[in-house]
Chains A and B, each alone.
Chain A
Amino acid sequence: MEKVLKASHFNKYFSEPDRFQVLKDVSFEVNKGEFLAIVGKSGCGKSTLLYLLSTMDTDYEGSLEINGQKLTGKSQDYLSKFRNEHLGFVFQFHFLLPEFTTLQNVMLPALKLGKYSEKEVEHRAYEKLKMIGMADHAKKLSSKLSGGQQQRVAIARALINDPTIVMGDEPTGNLDRTNTGIVFDIFREIARENHQTIIAVTHDPDFAAGSDRVIEMSDGMIISSHEN
């Protein structure tokens, strides 16, 4: 199996209010096309781990490799470009830009990437919206959408640049059962059909149960890793 992500010997400290070790020598690997769920109680360090993997948090010990590229110690600008091209994010509180339309929200990362012309980007954005069943709402302001709809648009945005890995921080944490189902199905599908890797931090046992592999964390350490 091809490895897309290698995390080795992650140590992370919070210095406020007191020096406190959040992650203790965490190492694991993720396969291409794998749907990975990270579970654990609040404060176990699973979100912290995800943000280290996301390359946004660079204050850690250890080394991170994604797609065969070593990312530890790279500049912020380099990491921004890397995220833009290789990573997609879905957060608990959707975080769409409220002044923009659904379509514009999805298009933004692709316009930033600048790989395709604006026409092509728009076409691709429509396709992603169709895939998640939001094409009808393309021209609406994103602030006018419901929470579940916004979360689906956020997924479309995460997928627009065909990233290697899609990361989710409690992607269904704020959604009702129906919307949770929809989001889960979309994740399942992109992992299976497009062979994109999913790494999601979740509290939801059903969500975790549906994934390929579950990593359970406690007190900053991986205590178990089992395949479903």
Chain B
Amino acid sequence: MNLRITTQIARTHLMAKKRQTLVAMLGVTFGIAMFITMISFMQGVNQFLEDSALDASPHVRMYNEVNTQRPALIEQLNPGDSAFNVIYHQKPKEQLSRLKNGLLIARRIEKEPGVLGVSPQLSTQVFYNNGPIQISGTVAGVDIERENRLYNLKSRLKSGTLNALRSNPNGLIMGSVLARKLNVRAGDKVSVTTPTGGTMILRVVGTFSFGIGTVDNTKSYANLSTVQEILQKDASYVTDIHIKMFDPLLAIPLGKKLRAIYGYYTEDWATANSAILAGEKIRNVMTFVVSMTLLVVAGFGIYNIMNMNVINKIKDIAILKATGFEGKDIVMIFLFQAIFIGLLGGLMGLLIGFILSYLLSITPFNAGDFLSIKTFPVIFDSKYYVMGILFGLITTVLAGYFPSRKAAKVDPVSILRG
């Protein structure tokens, strides 16, 4: 096999039909450019959603799952299908959602390896009243210093300071959207009513925004002691322990371990955000399906053009075979053309894909109050570009191989005899 001469013939063929070569190349270029753009964008969206969800939620949350359903006494005494027990209107058993020794547990978890921070808190549903406006939401009583360590609250403040909350026992740091709806800003007072009937006037000392609608719309932070006071609970009453890890993946085994040690229900981020993770999987599948379709279409384009090429060149193939070129030389001639088209088209596709994703990444995107982004999220990762060029090459080699093999099987006698 003589590569030099076969590549020379392939090159001459390509150069002789510049327009046809270009059209074949554009097919690959378009396919790969779209692949790059789509995957960069989709992965950007995934990353963004994951980040925003993980930022605002703990890696592990420990809480006491209140189970108010209980079998009736008579059913415990006289069980079975044959029994005839009739009970109407059974009252649920009173149960506290507190974590016993919550503060002590929190201090112990802090000593576990890989734990970034632990924040014990008391969370309750409330009504916010400001004059005629009534909005339901939640208040989390926290040690603001610890909470800041977990969620980097300082950087999320829109107004006020964290210190203001510490120095003001009746302070409240409120979600920015909630504050806007209530028409309050830092310094204003708002009335907070709990489901058990406790009411307290609190002063808004700051506003924050996580960029997530469900948080910014409803949540406020207050001092732990303040919330305990509204709920008329003792100073050790906490309902939740939030834990952040250095490595989110370690959260899942830690959650299981803590559950075994303390007997309280733990929920890790992967379970809590399973909707987001499922969405991510679906988007990944979609991206690959669409990209593959584009590449397959481009592949068929190349297949067509190479097929036409072989038919057009059938006399040349016959003469090459007559003068001593072997089947594999002919395969190389046409395969080289396909590879050239795939490689150059692919490289052009990478460039255009990069430009498109760059343009997308600077396109203003107004997501409203729900998401804190100004432009479309796009990830630039060389991995996708390597994948793109590999896919492009594989498709073109496959699309080029079959016509080439057909070319190699041309029977010179039938062509030359005319």
The interface of chain A, by Cβ under 8 A from chain B, is 47, 51, 54, 56-57, 76-77, 80-85, 89, 91-93, 95-100, 104, 108-109, 111-114, 157, 169
- Residues on the B chain within 8 Å of A54, using CB: 322
CB closest residue in chain A, given B316 = A97
Cα distance, A108 to B2, chains bound together (Å): 11
What are 14 A-to-B residue pairs whose CB atoms are below 8 Å? A76-B327, A82-B324, A83-B322, A83-B323, A84-B324, A84-B325, A89-B323, A91-B416, A96-B319, A104-B12, A109-B324, A112-B323, A113-B324, A169-B416
Question: With A77-B327, A84-B324, A99-B16 in contact, is A112–B5 under 8 Å at CB?
Answer: yes
Q: Are B413 and A57 in contact (CB under 8 A)?
A: yes
Nearest 9 pairs of A and B residues by beta carbon: A84-B324, A99-B16, A80-B326, A109-B323, A111-B5, A95-B319, A83-B324, A57-B413, A77-B326
Q: Are B324 and A85 in contact (CB under 8 A)?
A: yes
The interface of chain B, by Cβ under 8 A from chain A, is 2, 4-5, 8-9, 12-13, 15-16, 315-316, 318-329, 412-413, 416-418
Q: Are A56 and B322 in contact (CB under 8 A)?
A: yes
Taking chain B's interface residues, is the majority helix, strand, or loop, or is none over half, making it mixed? helix
Q: Are B315 and A95 in contact (CB under 8 A)?
A: yes
Cα distance, A104 to B418, chains bound together (Å): 24
Cα distance, A150 to B336, chains bound together (Å): 28
Cα distance, A92 to B416, chains bound together (Å): 9
- Residues on the B chain within 8 Å of A96, using CB: 319
Other than the known A77-B327, A82-B324, A111-B2, what 7 A-B pairs have Cβ atoms closer than 8 Å? Answer: A56-B321, A80-B321, A97-B320, A108-B323, A112-B329, A157-B323, A169-B416
- Residues on the B chain within 8 Å of A51, using CB: 413, 416-417
Q: Are B2 and A114 in contact (CB under 8 A)?
A: yes
- Residues on the A chain within 8 Å of B413, using CB: 51, 56-57
CB closest residue in chain A, given B16 = A99
Question: Whole-angstrom distance from the CB of B109 to the nearest CB of chain A?
Answer: 74
Q: Which of A85, A93, A99, A111 contacts B418 (CB 8 A)?
A: A93
CB closest residue in chain B, given A59 = B413
- Residues on the B chain within 8 Å of A56, using CB: 321-322, 412-413, 416
Q: Are A99 and B319 in contact (CB under 8 A)?
A: no
- Residues on the B chain within 8 Å of A82, using CB: 324
- Residues on the A chain within 8 Å of B316, using CB: 97-98
CB closest residue in chain B, given A85 = B324
Cα distance, A47 to B414, chains bound together (Å): 11
- Residues on the A chain within 8 Å of B324, using CB: 80-85, 109, 112-113
Cα distance, A57 to B416, chains bound together (Å): 11
Question: With A56-B412, A112-B2, A114-B2 in contact, is A84–B323 under 8 Å at CB?
Answer: yes
Cα distance, A104 to B8, chains bound together (Å): 10
Question: Whole-angstrom distance from the CB of A59 to the nearest CB of chain B?
Answer: 9
Cα distance, A81 to B416, chains bound together (Å): 19
